[in-house]
Amino acid sequence: MSQPAATILGRIGNTSLLPLRNVVPTNGARILLKLESENPTGSMKDRQALAMIEAAQADGRLRPGGSVVEYTGGSTGVSLALVCAVKGYPLHIVTSDAFAREKLDHMRLLGAKLTVIPSEGGGMTGKLTHDMIAAARALAQETGAYWTDQLNNEDQISAYRRMGEEIWTQTGGRIDGFVQSVGTAASLRGIAETLRRHDDGIIIVAVEPSESPVLSGGDSGAHKIDGVGAGFVVPLWRDDVADRIERVSTDEAIAMAFRLAREEGLFAGTSTGANVAGALRLAETLAPDATVVTIMCDTGMKYLQGYGARLEQGGAAA
């Protein structure tokens, strides 16, 4: 019998791996979904936030009595708000009205102070990301707070290496492909590096919004897949991290998220929809005895308002 965790932070990680039963290719590989919705805030970003804060505590960048600043589309901010609440650090988040209202409310409820940058038409763009970064940098300089700076922070990669080990152990080493959408690129890098250390034949697929396919050489544009597609090539990205890049549109991602809810009982966010759409494409190219793993990045409870509006507009069909 496992011992009680000292704090809620002890419940981060060691999430389940679940096979999809209905959202599957006709004659392709099986797809396993890593249920990161089991983390305390319902998001894989709990791993990242804890790793960044604990690394900064360990080397003195974040001292007792200090505070934290970050820019975020929401999930990282919620996760940082959780970690900072438990550890007692004031947190100031720079975010935008382009992101799910539920995430902004969740950050506030966990004690974070928010600066909300207006978007153009509610879409995520490269300009918006740069505006948020500039505001966070100014706040950190003004207040002396520790700026986690997630797009440049390599401390988080260690958390995803541990996640890669979880996947390897849970599959018993029987994994042929891994698919993940790209935000900071830390999760794809950490997991891919770990899996390839075990088996360099595993196919790694990166997913990005088709409206803003900058990693695959396209132009930056606006999209509404929360947490991914910064609109420029992010600093932690490496060209050799993925064997291929799949483009998935906002509409495809939302439609797949709705399919997962209706056909699998898995209520997930838009980035999960993009992941599964990419995983299906890979699975269709592999034999039935092969295994593809992708990630349920977070729970759909973070997107209820936007999903509800979509349903009212008749946009739920997959």
Angle at 43 between CA 140 and CA 277, to 5 degrees: 115
Average pLDDT in the chain: 95
- The arithmetic mean of pLDDT across residues 196-217, rounded, is 97
Is residue 317's pLDDT more than 80? no
Q: Taking residues 98-115, what's their average pLDDT?
A: 93
- 71, pLDDT greater than 80: yes
Better-scored residue on pLDDT, 145 or 309:
145
Q: Is the pLDDT of residue 318 over 80?
A: no
Amino acid at 120: E
Q: Where are the domains of the chain?
A: 8-38+160-312, 45-147
Q: Which CATH number fits domain 8-38+160-312: 3.80.30.20, 3.40.50.1100, 2.60.120.20, 3.40.630.10?
A: 3.40.50.1100
Residue pLDDT, tens place only, 263-282? 999 999 999 999 999 999 99
Distances (CA, A) of 14 to 45, 47, 164, 197, 254: 14, 10, 11, 20, 27
Separation of alpha carbons 116 and 89, rounded Å? 20
Give yes or no on whether 8-38+160-312 and 45-147 have one common fold: yes
* Model pLDDT, residue 120: 84
Q: What is 45-147's CATH number?
A: 3.40.50.1100
Residues designated catalytic: 45, 271
Q: What is the phi-psi region of residue 311: left when phi exceeds 0, alpha when psi lies from -120 to 50, beta otherwise? A: alpha
* Mean pLDDT value of segment 181-185: 96
Q: Mean pLDDT across the stretch 50-71?
A: 97
pLDDT band at 316 (very low <50, low <70, confident <90, very high): low
- Of the two residues 122 and 153, the one the predictor is more confident about is 153
Task: Inform me whether the pLDDT recorded for 195 exceeds 90.
Answer: yes
Pairing, β 68-71 against β 146-147: parallel
Residues forming beta bridges with residue 298, ordered by sequence position: 43
pLDDT of residue 2: 59
% of the chain at pLDDT higher than 90 = 86
pLDDT score, position 315: 65
Decide which of 312 and 242 is more confident: 242
Across residues 162-168, what is the average pLDDT? 98
pLDDT of residue 114: 97
d(CA 46, CA 64): 21
